[in-house]
Structure 1
Amino acid sequence: MFRSSPLTSPLVSRRRALGFGVLGAATLAAALTGCGSTTPAGSAAPGAASAGTPSYYPADYSKLLDASKVEGGKLTIYSNTDQENWAPILRDFKAKYPWTKVSADNLDSDEVFQRQLSEMATGKAPADMLVSNAVQAWASYAGKPDTLMAYDSPETKQLPDYAQLMPNVWAMSLDPVGIAYNSALMKEAPTSIASLAKAVAADPASYKNKITTRDVKGAWGFSVSHAFAAGDAGAWTGLDGILPSARPESSSGTQKEKIMAGEYLAGFFISSAVGYPAEKASGGLVKFVLPTDGTVVLGRGIGITPKAPHPATAKLFLDFVLSETGQNAVAEGGLSSYRDNVQLTEGRHTYQEVEKLAGKDGIIRVPYKVVPDAEVTAFVSKWNAKLGN
């Protein structure tokens, strides 16, 4: 059996593979009405697919393409995803749909949802889609009424049952969280939280303020840290040995730069979306490993906003990201895709690879579920009390 946070138990999927949870032109108006009129929640009846689409796509899928062209193919995405991760996805989406023009902002984890809610309150919300792996922030946002557009992607039935994180929220990728370190400065590679704690104990002076972790006051930092502590019975033994020498940072990108520069020797709970590309770009100066005493895996959620200015293009994009072509682009950009038919060329990573490296028993899953405020406060207080000055 896999190890997991107690929070996963109500949300474990039937396959128990990941436990993320279950759950104004007139022409444009006519086109959108036509492509969504066959079944509820934006889905279409099964039948022969439009030319150039898979056989399992609805017969009238071409209407969605026509509606996107009327929209001008514009699409605005609020995300906490780096441009290097987006690059192959946006490239291949435009190659498939040449009329599209996608803008994907790179915001802080919490800012993705704060900005969207603030703009919704004014009645002027320009974002079509939200993409983030800040589980707590996603769960809190999606738990509010009228925050997501209902849509039934034709790709859903082709995906593992854990691909849908919440109603109308899918996993764009399933990214592990690991340890990044400066291979020129560390004598021995840390393979786990416990081994990093052992290295600190052997030479505390050299590691003082030389380790970085994510700020647990942020949604992303809390999610991964809380999940590890709850999912590994011996977690606090290792954490107690590391945290006094650690300093928090608000982004994996900042951590990567400081590890590369030698300001930090190592960082733990670093997103693989940053870790894998950093290892490649640095020529191995920065190494990224999955902890053998528990690897946290986060679903990078993607969903359509309730009043998306360009709904047809948003649906096209969602379908593309979940498709075989889209998942290959996801992997090329440094994220971990999860379709079985992703081509495993050098530099690409998949969830299946994480299972092999960390072991199914070593994966700690983070459910898309809000942790009670009291529990958040208690954990953040305990964690920050152990940090060094």
Structure 2
Amino acid sequence: MAAVLAGAGCGASSTAPVPVRNLPPVNVQAGSLKTGFATMERLAEAAKREGELNVIALPREWVNYGEVIDTFADKYGIKVNELEPNASSARQIEAAGRLKPDVFDLTLDTAVKEAARFAPYKVQGWLDLPDNVKDPAGAWYAAYGGYMSIGYDPREVKPPAGFADLLGPGYRVALDGDPLRSAAAFDGVMAASMRAGVPRPDQGVSLFAKLKQAGRLTDPAKANTIVAWDHLNAARGAAHPDRWKVVIPRDAALGDYHVQAISKAAPHPAAARLWQEFLLSDEGQNLLQKGWARPARGEAMAMRGTLDTEQAARLPRAPGPPVLLTIPQQDAGKSYLKKQWAKSVG
């Protein structure tokens, strides 16, 4: 299915009813629902006693996080404190000691690097998550992902088949930020660099350098073509269907995930675990998909009939399974851009 970034296992864990008198004491630091709480009801009760949840880097317009947060707060009666909504992954880690977030929403490379900071916890849908986007010990795991895409104004330019077409006449192109500071913009350059499924950073920098030299690399407010995650371009297209279309180039199907983690120093450890259970539940995954993201559990949900298939059908058409950059490939790309971007593009 186009709604799913990658294949996943089919078996979700479940919690059988346990007689109340036989339940062990609640352990809010546990690594799973079964070992720490036994039931979702006991987890919810423990979280309600804490009363609050600190989240960070969750803009309300990003993948429908506003509705996700409000639904969670209303469902469980927990106050959600929204810290630094626009913080980057690096900023989340930097500010954690002062701001004390309970949970993180991170890029994959940051999660891998900072895994020692996180409290392992395997959600009930653990087996539905692709193995290559979860830490075997449960320190972090994907909740949603997307493809790098090209959004364009069909009134001004022809549908681009790939990144090379952006060098043609009429395209005024923007990245989603500075690729030296923005993960989304960096991935845009890396998508443009793909050759037969392999990133070649020099090719990506070369394309944007040519656009710059031609005076057609601009900012999003002036662009008729924006290289960004498909959920951002799709949201723009949903608001203006006649003025904005989205394509995921067949020869550059670069994908990525945002992963979740619980802070070892979480001030509200039960609420943090309840948040992860909600975000990875069928309800939470469908709410993220409503924001044009691709649920990490999407394939298993589709097989069980719990995925919102109407919304899934509205997502931009994916040309096939995504290419996920390895950590060494990301590091090599960042190193190359650090040396060449300012020199070649400015």
TM-score over 0.5 for the alignment?
yes
Deviation, 1:162, is 4.0
Distance 1:190 1:371, change over 3 A: closer
Name the SS of the counterpart of 1:64 in structure 2.
helix
Q: Is residue 345 from structure 1 mapped to residue 310 from structure 2 by the alignment?
A: yes
Residue 13 of structure 2: aligned partner: none
Contact (CA 8 Å) 1:139, 1:370: kept in 2 or not? no
Are 1:140 and 2:113 an aligned pair? yes
Please state if 1:244 is matched with 2:210: yes
Cα pair distance change 1:65/1:346, threshold 3 Å:
closer
Q: Which one of the candidate residues 151, 156, 179 is aligned to 1:180?
A: 151
Task: Give the aligned partner of residue 229 of structure 2.
Answer: 271
1:42 aligns with 31
Alignment partner, residue 314 of structure 1: 272
C-alpha distance in 1 between matches for 2:7 and 2:337:
27
Residues 118/44 of structure 1: CA separation in 2 closer, same or farther (3 Å cut): closer
2:94 to 104, 117, 135: 117
Deviations 1:243-295 (A, max 9, x none): 3224778xxxx73xx1xxxx112122x01231111100123312221112112
For 2:288, the equivalent position in structure 1 comes to: 330
In the alignment, is the contact (CA less than 8 A) between 2:191 and 2:199 conserved in 1?
no
Name structure 2 gaps, 5 residues minimum.
1-5, 9-23, 302-306
Tell me the distance in 2 between the aligned counterparts of 1:58 and 1:118.
Answer: 30
1:17-56 matches, cutoff 5 A: 17=7, 34-36=25-27, 41-45=30-34
Deviation of 1:104 (Å): 3.5
Cα RMSD between the aligned structures? 3.4
| Match for residue 162 of structure 2 among 187, 192, 197 | 192
Q: Percent identity?
A: 18
Shift of 1:217: 0.7
CA distance in 1, matches of 2:67, 2:95: 30
Asked if residue 359 in structure 1 is aligned to residue 320 in structure 2, the reply is yes
Report the 3-state secondary structure (helix = DSSP H, G, I; strand = E; otherwise coil) of the residue aligned with 1:294: coil
What secondary structure sits across from 2:241 in the alignment?
Answer: coil
Unaligned stretches of 5+ residues in structure 1: 1-15, 19-32, 47-56
> 1:377 corresponds to which residue?
335
Contact persistence 2:189–2:205 (CA under 8 A):
no
What is the CA deviation profile of residues 61-111 of structure 1, one whole-angstrom value per residue up to 9, with x for unaligned ones? 433212111111x112112544352133224323532x122233464453x
2:105 is paired with a residue whose SS is strand
Q: How many residue pairs align between the two structures?
A: 310
Cα pair 1:89 1:333 within 8 Å, conserved: no
| Displacement of 1:344 | 1.7
Letter of the 1:323 counterpart: S
**Cα distance in 1 for residues equivalent to 2:329 and 2:182:** 10
TM-score of the aligned structures, taking structure 1 as reference length: 0.68
How big is the shift at 1:336?
A: 1.5
Instruction: Give, in whole Å, the separation in 2 of the partners of 1:274 and 1:164.
Output: 24
Quote the Cα distance in structure 2 between the aligned partners of 1:233 and 1:152: 32
Partner AA of 2:309 in structure 1: L
Inter-partner Cα distance in structure 2 for 1:366 and 1:17: 16
**Retained in 2: the 8 A contact 1:194–1:293?**
no
Indicate the SS of the match to 2:288: helix
Q: 1: distance between equivalents of 2:329 and 2:50?
A: 36
The offset of 1:375, in angstroms, is 5.8
> For residue 125 of structure 2, what is the aligned residue in structure 1?
155
Query: Helix, strand or coil: the match of 2:251?
Result: coil
Seen in structure 2, the aligned counterparts of structure 1 residues 291 and 42 have a Cα distance that, compared at 3 Å, is same
Cα displacement (A) at 1:320? 1.0
The reply to whether residue 304 of structure 1 matches residue 267 of structure 2 is no
Aligned with 1:42: secondary structure? coil
The alpha-carbon distance between structure 1 residues 370 and 93, as it changes in their structure 2 partners (threshold 3 A), is: farther
Task: Report if the CA contact (8 A) 1:113-1:141 is conserved.
Answer: no
2:144 counterpart letter in structure 1:
S
1:230 and 1:282, CA in 2 relative to 1: closer, same or farther beyond 3 A?
closer
Q: Which moved more, 1:63-72 or 1:163-172?
A: 163-172
- Once residues 58 and 68 of structure 1 are traced to their aligned partners in structure 2, the CA distance between those partners, rounded to angstroms, is 11
Conserved? CA contact 1:173–1:299, under 8 Å: yes
